[in-house]
Amino acid sequence: MWLEIVLASVLGLVIYWFVSRDKEETLPLEDGWWGPGARPPGGEDESIRHFKVETSDEEIDDLHRRIDKARLTTPLEDSRFHYGFNTSYLKKILSYWRNGFDWRKQVEVLNRYPHFKTKIEGLDIHFIHVKPHELPSGRAAKPLLMVHGWPGSFYEFYNIIPLLTDPKNHGLSDEHVFEVICPSIPGYGFSEASSKKGLNSVATARIFYKLMLRLGFQEFYIQGGDWGSLICTNMAQLVPSHVKGMHLNMALILRNFYTLTLFLGRRFGGLFGYTERDMELLYPVKEKIFYSIIRESGYMHIQSTKPDTVGCALNDSPVGLAAYILEKFSTWTNSEFRDLEDGGLERPPNLLLWGTGYQATAYCISETSVPSRMKVQVPTGFAAFPCELLHIPEKWLKFKYPKLISYSYMARGGHFAALEEPELLARDIIKFVGLLERQ
C-alpha cells in the first residue's frame, strides 16, 4: 500500500511539473475569406444594418404540409428516451407544433431585442446588441460578448440578457452593468454559412473579434459554453490584450494524463486536488464519464466527417430536425431525463433552426476545430454545472487556464446553462467580473 502511495505521489509531481510550465503564447491572427468567389478588390461593405426576424404564410404552410406527411416508427416498449427521441412523445410535440404553436407570437418574441447584420470575411454575420436602458450615475456599461454552441442559438441568452443589462430591477447588484452582444455562429440562426472548406473555431473567434472592433470595443468580456467556450478560448489565445476577462460554463481540454488521474483519483483524489464535490461528479467513471460520453457523442462523429449527408436529411424534414435537436435539450439538460416518458421536455420546440432553413454547413465548425493545448493567459471564471456532460475539476482547468480566478460549483443545471438557469449564470458572471476588477 505504501509503495502505491509513493509511486502515485512521484508520478503526480512529475506530471504537474511537465504541464504547469506557463508559456506566453498566442495563436496567429491571420485573415480569411469565407464568402462565395474571391474577395472583392475594393474590400467588403463594413456597414452595420438593422435586421428583423420575419416569417410568411407560405413558410408556415410548407411546414404544416411536411408535418402532416411525417412517417413515424413505433418505439421499443418501455424504451422512453434511452434510444434517442421517443416517437410516442414526438407525436405530442408535432401535434402542438402543427395546431397550437403561434408563429406570429414567436416572431414578436425574437424581435424583442435589436437585431443587426454586418459583412465580415465575406459572411453576413447576424447578432443582437442590447444596451442598458439606464446606467447608475458615473458608470459605463461593460461590453460582454456571449457565444452559443450546438445545437443552440443566440436565443439561449434571451432570459439572461435583462439580468445583465438591468440587474437592479431583477434583484441583482448593479455594481456591474453590461451591454450584451450575442452573435450567431456562421451557418447557425441568421448568420450566413461558409462557402468554403476549413471554417473552424479559430476563424470564428477572429470574425467575432472583428465584430467587436467594428462595434467600437477595444476591450471587452467574453462568455460561452459548448462551441462557444472553444470560440471564446480561441479569442483569448488570438488577442489576449483585447479580452479583459473570460467566463465559461464548459471547457474542452486535451491532456493525456487526465485519463490516468481519473483512474488513480478514485483512491488518491486528494493527491490530484479533487474536492469531495469533484468526486461526486466524476465517479463512478464508468457511468459518469465513459458511458455518458459514448452515449452522447455519436452525433459529433458524423457531423465532423459527413455533415452534408445529415444536413440533407435535416434540412428536408422538420420532424427529423425536431427529434434530432430536442433530444439534446432532453439528455444534455439532465442525463436522468432519459428515464422519463417525455424526456423531461416541458417546453415547446425551438423552431428557429427550421425557420431559417437548416444548413449542413452549420455542422462544419467541428470539422477542423480541435482544442489547442496552448495555455490561456487571460483572467478566467468558470461555472461548473452539475449536469454538464463532463465535469472539469478546478485543478484540471488551472493547467490550461492558469489565471483562473473564479471557480463555482453551481447548485443545479446542465449543458444549456443560460437557458436553464439564467439567474445562477448571471450571478456567477457578475461575481467573476467583480473579483477581477477588484484585483
Task: Give the pLDDT confidence of 387-407 residue by residue, as tens digits.
Answer: 999 899 999 999 999 999 999
418, part of any domain: yes
Q: Which residue has the higher pLDDT, 173 or 48?
A: 48
Contact 187, 365 (CB under 8 A): yes
Which residue out of 358, 363, 401, 407 is catalytically annotated? 363
Confidence bin at 23 (pLDDT 50/70/90): low
Contact 272, 261 (CB under 8 A): yes
Q: What share of the chain in percent tops pLDDT 90?
A: 69
Does pTM top 0.85 for this prediction?
yes
Provide the edge-to-edge strand list for the sheet that holds 380-384: 48-51, 115-120, 123-130, 178-183, 142-147, 220-224, 243-248, 380-384, 404-409
| Residue 257: predicted pLDDT | 60
5, part of any domain: no
Residue 14 has pLDDT above 60, yes or no: no
Confidence bin at 363 (pLDDT 50/70/90): very low
89, part of any domain: no
pLDDT tens across 154-184, in order?
999 999 999 999 999 999 989 999 999 999 9
Confidence bin at 311 (pLDDT 50/70/90): confident
Confidence bin at 348 (pLDDT 50/70/90): very low
326, part of any domain: no
Task: For cell 476563424, name the residue.
Answer: 203
Count: domains in the chain? 1
Q: What share of the chain in percent tops pLDDT 70?
A: 86
- Our answer to whether residue 274 is catalytic in this structure is no
| Residue 255: predicted pLDDT | 63
User: Which range among 100-114, 135-149, 283-297 shows the weakest confidence by mean pLDDT?
Assistant: 283-297
- Our answer to whether residue 324 is catalytic in this structure is no
| Residue 264: predicted pLDDT | 74
Mean pLDDT in residue range 16-20: 47
Residue 139 has pLDDT above 60, yes or no: yes
| Residue 358: predicted pLDDT | 44
Mean pLDDT in residue range 191-202: 94
Which residue out of 124, 148, 155, 226 is catalytically annotated? 226
242, part of any domain: yes
| Residue 349: predicted pLDDT | 45
| Residue 370: predicted pLDDT | 55
228, part of any domain: yes
Half-sphere exposure of 110 (CA within 13 A, CB side): 25
29, part of any domain: no
Mean pLDDT in residue range 115-134: 97
| Residue 369: predicted pLDDT | 58
Residue-range definition of the domain harbouring residue 122:
113-254+370-437
| Residue 42: predicted pLDDT | 86
Instruction: Respond yes or no on whether the N-terminal peptide bond of residue 151 is cis (omega within 30° of 0).
Output: yes
Which residue out of 115, 124, 415, 428 is catalytically annotated? 415
User: Which range among 120-124, 223-227, 366-370 shows the weakest confidence by mean pLDDT?
Assistant: 366-370
Mean pLDDT in residue range 327-347: 87
Residue 187 has pLDDT above 90, yes or no: yes
Average pLDDT value over all residues in the chain: 87
395, part of any domain: yes
Residue 11 has pLDDT above 80, yes or no: no
- Our answer to whether residue 226 is catalytic in this structure is yes
The domain that contains 227 carries what CATH number? 3.40.50.1820
